[in-house]
Amino acid sequence: MGLLDGHLAFVTGGGSGIGRGIAQGYSREGAKVIVADVNVAGAEETARLVEDAGGEAWAIELDVANMQAVQSVARKVEADIGPISVLVNNAGIVRRATIDSATAIDDWNDTVAINISGLFNCVHSFQDQLKSTKGRVINLGSIQSFVHTANSVAYTTSKGAVKNFTIGMAAELAPFGVRVNAIGPGLIFTPLNEKGIQQNPEMLERFMRHIPMGRPGTPDDIVGPAIFLASDLSQYVTGVLIPSDGGYLTV
């Protein structure tokens, strides 16, 4: 018996890092998983890892910033596989640059389109399926839903918006039996920040001074909260953002 037996989960950005970990963790708990990513090779690799471990998974190419594409994938998923009962809005980007950098305008527009509108596009497109299954939505926020870290004003803005999107949707969808929550990872080693950290060891030191538990996180540190929020263990929990950050926000 798994905590997610009978569930069908749709994980955006599931082709790498935290999303891949969540897809694998959900499968271990009995869910079938649809792995959606703009990087289809990554999504296929995650689906293969799930299937090699005895689970059932599908890989889909999807840019969550493209509303028409999300709508068409939602229709196809319902027709070909079935209505989803768990939506994990995990796809996200971070671009670290100051507001006077040459890339600032593109960074802002891309970050808003993926990290904010991507969530809206997915909840909007899957709302009927989620209502029919009394589903659960899990959004990926960040410690930056609460605080800033260097040179990332677009990202901080976007993750603050994830927090408020979560409470707004939780209130609106609760009467339909749909719960909406979020997770706020701290520093998790994934391809998202690998390059930035290699190029800037000082950034790692700055983060580490802020982590009482004394270690960076791994995708597994996010999988447990993601299973909790998708399962009936959290049946009376909605509208919250659970930090999983080694204590980053305490000091």
Ligand X SMILES: NC(=O)c1ccc[n+]([C@@H]2O[C@H](COP(=O)([O-])OP(=O)(O)OC[C@H]3O[C@@H](n4cnc5c(N)ncnc54)[C@H](O)[C@@H]3O)[C@@H](O)[C@H]2O)c1
By the rule CB under 6 A, 193 interacts with ligand X: yes
Site string for ligand X, 63-82 (x = CB under 6 A): xxx-----------------
Q: Give min distance, CB of 74 to ligand X, in A.
A: 14
The Cα 184–Cα 241 span in angstroms is 6
Complex with ligand X: residue 41 or 171, whichever CB lies closer:
41
Residue 155 appears among annotated catalytic residues: yes
- Rounded CA gap, 181 and 241, in Å? 6
CB of 186 to ligand X, least distance (A): 6
CA 53, CA 8: separation in Å to the nearest integer?
Answer: 17
> Any idea what the Cα angle at residue 63 is, between residues 7 and 81, rounded to 5°?
30
Residue 86, Cβ neighbours under 10 Å: how many? 26
Site string for ligand X, 19-38 (x = CB under 6 A): x-----------------xx
Q: Is 42 in the site for ligand X (CB under 6 A)?
A: yes
Residue 86: strand, helix, or coil: strand
Can residue 135 be called a binding residue for ligand X (CB under 6 A)?
no
Beta bridge pairs of residue 18: none
**93 contributes a contact to ligand X by CB under 6 A:** yes
Angle at 231 between CA 229 and CA 237, to 5 degrees: 45
- Contact residues for ligand X (CB under 6 A)? 12-13, 15-19, 37-39, 42, 62-65, 90-94, 114, 118, 140, 142, 185, 187-188, 190-193
